[in-house]
Amino acid sequence: MSEDNGQVPQAHAYDILKVLKALPHRYPLLLVDRVRSIEIGERIHAVKAVSFNEQFFQGHFPGRPIMPGVLQIEALAQAAGVLGIETFELAGTGKLVIFMAIENAKFRASVEPGCLLDLEVEFTRKSSRVCKFKGRASVDGNTTCEVEFTAMIADAPAD
């Protein structure tokens, strides 16, 4: 229990329109399609529908399309971005959640077209400027990627 009133945080689902309001990412680099549940200040479970039409499949790899591991990490980071933006009420402020470090990344299985990639991320440490997260990507309950990462809350770059 993380709230002062002793209540467990409520979990909410987000459709793509709410994801677009939270994240600055857009096609072709938006890698979160839906949020199945978010517990503000705690954790998020998001989903990426992996389609054969993704641009990266043209070259990774012809004849054997596999989602690059770094894009799995990026998808987890974007899910963490939604969690951070919602936790710190940053939507519409121009603030960004930006990678600082990636640690202990492990790739366990391939992600292929047609998969629903589950993205589960939780805070391991949070402050108003720097947060640490632990993330796990999976397909049908089988882990494809695990990672710990650090992000900072920053102002958007000047035009």
What is the distance between the alpha carbons of residues 104 and 135, in angstroms, rounded to a whole number? 10
**Residue holding tokens 């936790």?**
87
Q: How far is CA 24 from CA 12, 29, 159, in A?
A: 20, 10, 15
Q: What are phi and psi of 102, to 5 degrees?
A: -125, 130
Which architecture, in CATH terms, is 11-155?
Roll (3.10)
Instruction: Please confirm, yes or no, whether 25 is among the known catalytic residues.
Output: no
| Span 59-107, pLDDT tens digits | 999 899 999 999 999 999 999 999 999 999 999 888 888 999 999 999 9
Measured distance between the N- and C-terminal CA atoms of the chain, rounded to whole angstroms: 42
> Where are the chain's structural domains?
11-155
* The two structure tokens encoding residue 59: 């070259």
Is the alpha carbon torsion for 9, 16, 138, 123 positive or negative? negative
Q: Considering the candidates 12, 25, 45, 60, report the single residue annotated as catalytic.
A: 60
> Which H/E stretch holds residue 86?
helix 69-87
Q: How many residues does the chain have?
A: 159
1-56: pLDDT as tens digits: 344 455 555 678 999 999 999 998 888 999 999 999 999 999 999 999 999 999 99
Return d(Cα 78, Cα 84) in angstroms, integer. 10
